[in-house]
Amino acid sequence: MSNSILESTSGESTAMSADKPVSVTVMSMQQALNRALDEVLAENPKAVIFGEDCGRLGGVFRITDGLQARHGAQRVFDTPLAESGILGMSVGLAMAGFHPIPEVQFDGFAYPAINQIVCQIARMNYRSRGTMPMPITLRVPSFGGIRAPEHHGESLEALFAHVPGLKVVSPSNPHEAYHLLKYAATRPDPVIFMEPKSRYWQKGEVDFAADGDAPTGSKVMREGRHLTLVAWGAMVSRCLQVAELAAEDGIDIEVLDLRWLKPIDAAGLAASVRKTRRAVVVHEAPLTSGLGAEVAQLITQSCFDTLKAPVERVTGFDVPYPSGDLEDEYIPNIDRILFGIQRVLEYKRG
């Protein structure tokens, strides 16, 4: 793939750094995901992509744009509007030696496929004593932020993370999207790949080579001394904004992109919070039994003696995801995250 690094398709721009022969390309998350899938299809003849509108249209978010033309309708194709069928077919294809990369068009449409995901995909390897692995990469455009109707803004990470046998990952920017998807699509186990749809159009530098940048575990996106903000998906860029604002007030914040939501990088969490001694978890999903609880427990377990305050959670509310008009009230905004930070900062023992 080394030659392709310098190739630039329309809309992308390539920059060369003077001292190192490393190049980064500026592209949107859509383009980065598209590039990753294109390469996966080229590298793995057993990889197949399918879902509602994935083929001819190239996906409602254009993530599979042009893939059917380049790789043929045998490998990139449309399915009926039936998520249980899409995932059921994935099980059969995986049994037959393929690497299915199905798409569930929107988070809320995963519910009709839960039986296939939980009772078949997650368990087949276990049930068959390792003779039927399920190398399935399920792409789910996830989370809110695009003013869409019901079923188009939900955060299902806690549901998936709770199921033994599933791995769950969510990228926060184009670079992460490219590398995490390429890595996920080579795993022998099912991976739920949660794409933050509100960040699809965000452009960022992608370093295709990324030597030494392991696609596993969490990743420190900004270093800081006073407090760790833990986030994933679309909330990472919001936390980075918050960190810049907090710096104006003299608070130095570390932002940890959790990336893998199952398994969670307990060591990475511990390393960051041992240093900062304060933590706030931010997610869009509702508070109760959200993944923030798991993160808070892991931090407490490893950092109990050094923590200066209980771990705070800034999350969505315990209500069904609201319509687009009310979305800004639901998703943690900058002020709510700042309030959470303030609560931790002013905590007094006893």
The residues that touch another protein, with contacts defined as CB under 8 A, are 10-11, 28, 53, 56-57, 59-62, 106, 145-149, 152, 197-198, 201-202, 226, 241-242, 244-246, 249-251, 324, 334-335, 338-339, 341-342, 345-346
Question: Which residue from 182, 166, 274 is spatially nearest to 220, judged by alpha carbons?
Answer: 274
Tokens for 62? Answer: 């254009």
Least distance between another protein and beta carbon 321 (Å): 13
CB of 28 or CB of 228, closer to another protein = 28
Q: How far is the CB of 244 from another protein (least distance, A)?
A: 7
3-state secondary structure labels for all residues of 19-87: CCCCEEEEEEHHHHHHHHHHHHHHHCCCEEEEECCCCCCCCCCCCCCCHHHHHCCCCEEECCCCHHHHH
Sheet holding 260-262, edge to edge: 76-78, 47-51, 99-103, 137-142, 191-196, 167-169, 260-262
Cβ 103 to another protein shortest distance, Å: 12
CB closer to another protein, 146 vs 271: 146
**In the block, residue with structure tokens 């749809």:** 197
State the nearest-atom distance from the C-beta of 92 to another protein, in Å: 25
Residue 349: both structure tokens together: 């023992």
Distance, CA of 281 to CA of 223 (rounded, Å): 16
Q: Which of 71, 99, 151, 152 is labelled catalytic?
A: 152
For residue 10, the minimal CB distance to another protein (Å) is 8
Active site includes 175?
A: no
Nearer Cβ to another protein (132/338): 338
CB of 290 to another protein, least distance (A): 22
How many Å apart are CA 39 and CA 5, to the nearest integer?
12
Q: Report the SS3 class of residue 345.
A: helix
Distance CA 27, CA 207 (A): 10
Tokens found for residue 196: 């933050």
- Exposed, middle or buried: residue 129 (CB in 10 Å: 0-12, 13-18, 19+)? exposed
CB of 144 to another protein, least distance (A): 9
The secondary structure of residue 112, as a DSSP letter, is G
Q: Nearest CA to 264 among 221, 241, 306, 231?
A: 231
Residue 26 has a CB neighbour count (10 Å cut-off) of 16
- Please give the structure tokens belonging to residue 118: 């939980």
CA 277 – CA 218 distance, rounded (Å): 18
Q: Which residue has the tokens 């721009």?
A: 13
Question: What residue ranges in 52-187 does DSSP mark as E strands?
Answer: 76-78, 99-103, 137-142, 167-169
Any idea which residues carry the catalytic annotation? Answer: 152
